[in-house]
Structure 1
Amino acid sequence: MREVEILPTSYLWTDYLPLGEVTLLVGKPGIGKSTLAVDLAAKLTRGQLDGDCKGEQRHVLYSITEDSESMFKARFVAAGGDVDYVHLVDVVHGEVGDGSPLLINVDLDAVRAEIEKWNPALFVLDALNSSLVGQLNDNSSVRPQLERLKALAHATSTTVLGVGHFKKATFGVDPVDAIGGAGAYSQVVRQALACAADEEEETMVLSLIKSNVRSVAGTPSLAFSAEEVQVKSDDGGTTKVGRLTWLGETSTSVRELLQRVPQGENKDRDKPLQWLQAYLDEHGGGAPSTEIKADGEAAGFSWDVLKRAKKRTKDTEYEIFSCKSSYHGGWIWRWPTEREGSAEGSEESGTDPPGSLPALGAPFDRARDNG
């Protein structure tokens, strides 16, 4: 251990892309993830990406499975990239050029050879899932492949950016939990970025949702938009592609956006919360959780649905939370206008806080609630 050097974290893109690490970029389809990745790559090839490589043109390796090579080049040119510094990785387990995706388990040694040749600062896998084999929801299958990718990033000091996706159902879900596939996706990668649409502002938002090296809460979210532009094609015509425009920092995070009801979608998902708020109002601002469960199920709302509705209010002005009626008493759900103190405990964990809480209706201490 005496021989191990403690080194500061360096960034390809300050705060968002650490050098020599694997970072995940996720979001729903059509949200602009690929356009964003191309924009970062293009800036890097021009020495324009804010980070430790700014002012220096760096090579980029790119593995594409969802765009054609022609469309990718059009996107890259639209983003202002230098085509002499970007290289499409076509080292595959099948015949070169047959459309077979690069596979981490088979092709990583050949990729390492390309990295040694070009010394790229960035290696993009779009989409990451296409380069993995086996059951993508199985940690025992996914984790070893991601570990190999991480080892490559560490050994070559190359930043690896894997473009992934969210699960289909993301409403009310924490962004890390919304990452599609096995839990290893969020466990192995050093950082994870997520994109979501802010329909109220008609923009997109990028947030840091997981990091082993810095504060997620202290890292600002960034707003961006995409516009359609025309790029000259080699046949004398033009090709339409998307181009990203950065709009600066925003106080809106992807986590917040996942708590919103999407415009135009089923408004019935608001009904459990509306019922719960009305129920607590009718019972003086609080009621035992056992009664809420029974009356909620009678009204057509399952206990899991009501707990998710309660969780939606967390960290808001109108938060509904759990507290004890007494040390050995049952849990109650409250929706008060004032809160005092704090105490450890959780209704879901079944643990009591270290001390007793006054009965319902009296001044109370707030108990920590895990969901």
Structure 2
Amino acid sequence: MENLKIINMADVESKKVEFLWYPYIPLGKLTIIQGDPGEGKTTAVLQLTALLTKGEKLPEDEQEREPINVIYQTAEDGLADTVKPRLEAAGADCSKVLVIDESEQGLCMSDERIEQAIKETGAKLVILDPIQAYLGANVDMHRANEIRPVMKRLGDIAEKYSCAIILIGHMNKASGSKSTYRGLGSIDFQATARSVLIVGRIKDDPTCRVIAHDKSSLAPEGDSIAFRLDKENGFAWEGVIDISVDDLLSGDQKVTKLTSAKEFLAKYLADGPKPSTEIFEAAEADGIKKRTLFTAKEKLNVTATKTGDKWYWGF
């Protein structure tokens, strides 16, 4: 019989959960990002990667951060013809994006090379895209008793090195089902992950995609965040959007807060420049935050001019 080990909670030192992107991606934990094929999951993750490699602010987050190393593994896209061009288009520091060589031996979640790579590179983010490709040949993704040990080991590695690990996954076609049951494979994927994000598109505005927080075990769920993705203009973050996960999956149309702010500002300035203080008051009355208003100002190329002791905004 093995020796029984008891942990007394009085001896456990409390510690605060740290986040790579609050409250969406916790450090030292597993995060799942899932959605239907072609919804922009990988593109959004590579855009986040680009910001992280340069130490720039993430969407709706004012945290100052240092550039980090990111390990990115993909079984679906070519490094030279797809991943590298996407990273370059996003403005990433490609010297900080690292890949474990799978040319001679494929990688799986239980592979010791993942821990070795984190240890050697000091990476603070590991991305496995998609989940299914990195389970391992002998793991049935529909069996909880096989999924739990693999996910636990990966989670232990994340915690040991205070590294965020993102698993990108596709969703099944069970339309109308709760989001929790639409992830491919065992529900234990979602149960083990500390954060689950859903990526989908607005039904009547197909270039508008949304990242919605489906599960958050370590912090309050974050606002849904929209991004624009089309062939002509490429990628652009759109800001907070008022839409739930269920509405997103059902295809309900919503308007982003940035769009509302742009419409407000365009209408308010239609008949000429207005004092900035007056604009701030009117925007606040409409429920528009000042940060969103300034973003709308930039998007619309509104100029600020000082006359006397007052600032005026106008086109």
After TM superposition, the score normalised by the length of structure 2 is: 0.71
Alpha carbons 2:30, 2:193 under 8 Å: kept: yes
Structure 2 match to 1:150 = 155
The counterpart of 1:125, out of the listed 119, 125, 128, is 128
Structure 2 match to 1:66 = 76
- SS of structure 2 residue aligned to 1:104: coil
Structure 1 pair 114–195 and aligned structure 2 pair: CA distance change class (3 A): same
Alpha carbons 2:171, 2:183 under 8 Å: kept: yes
Q: Mapping of 1:173-184 within 5 angstroms?
A: 173-184=177-188
| Cα RMSD, aligned residues only | 2.0
Structure 1 match to 2:212 = 207
Structure 2 match to 1:78 = 89
The counterpart of 1:227, out of the listed 217, 227, 230, is 230
Aligned-pair CA distance for 1:261: 8.0
- SS of structure 1 residue aligned to 2:95: helix
The counterpart of 1:2, out of the listed 2, 10, 14, is 10
Q: Deviations over 1:219-269 (max 9, x none)?
A: 21011111337xxxxxxxxxxxx953110000122311223489xxxxxxx
Aligned-pair CA distance for 1:214: 2.2
- Identity, in percent, stands at 28
Aligned-pair CA distance for 1:137: 1.0
Alpha carbons 2:47, 2:87 under 8 Å: kept: yes
Q: Give me the whole-angstrom Cα distance separating, in 2, the residues matched to 1:130 and 1:194.
A: 19
Aligned length: 239
Aligned-pair CA distance for 1:167: 0.7
The counterpart of 1:246, out of the listed 216, 222, 237, is 237
Alpha carbons 2:202, 2:251 under 8 Å: kept: no
* Paired AA for residue 213 in structure 2: L
The counterpart of 1:101, out of the listed 97, 106, 123, is 106
- Unaligned runs of 5+ residues in structure 1 are 230-241, 263-371
* Paired AA for residue 42 in structure 2: S
Q: Give me the whole-angstrom Cα distance separating, in 2, the residues matched to 1:65 and 1:128.
A: 9
Structure 2 match to 1:116 = 119
Alpha carbons 1:26, 1:33 under 8 Å: kept: yes
Q: Give me the whole-angstrom Cα distance separating, in 2, the residues matched to 1:52 and 1:225.
A: 21
* Paired AA for residue 100 in structure 2: V
Question: Is 2:38 the counterpart of 1:33?
Answer: no
Aligned-pair CA distance for 1:173: 1.9
* Paired AA for residue 84 in structure 2: K
Question: Is 2:96 the counterpart of 1:88?
Answer: no
Relative contact order, higher structure (CA 8 A, sep 6+) = 2
Q: Give me the whole-angstrom Cα distance separating, in 2, the residues matched to 1:243 and 1:258.
A: 23
* Paired AA for residue 193 in structure 1: L
Q: Mapping of 1:1-371 within 5 angstroms?
A: 1-50=9-58, 54-70=64-80, 71-90=82-101, 92=102, 97-98=103-104, 100-105=105-110, 107=111, 109-133=112-136, 134-169=139-174, 171-202=175-206, 203-216=208-221, 219-228=222-231, 243-260=234-251
- Structure holding more helix per residue: 2
Aligned-pair CA distance for 1:79: 0.8
Q: Deviations over 1:189-239 (max 9, x none)?
A: 1110001110223311111101111233xx21011111337xxxxxxxxxx
Q: Deviations over 1:92-138 (max 9, x none)?
A: 5xxxx14x531122x2x222111111111100001121110321111
Q: Give me the whole-angstrom Cα distance separating, in 2, the residues matched to 1:227 and 1:258.
A: 20
* Paired AA for residue 194 in structure 2: R
Structure 2 match to 1:305 = none
Aligned-pair CA distance for 1:52: 9.1
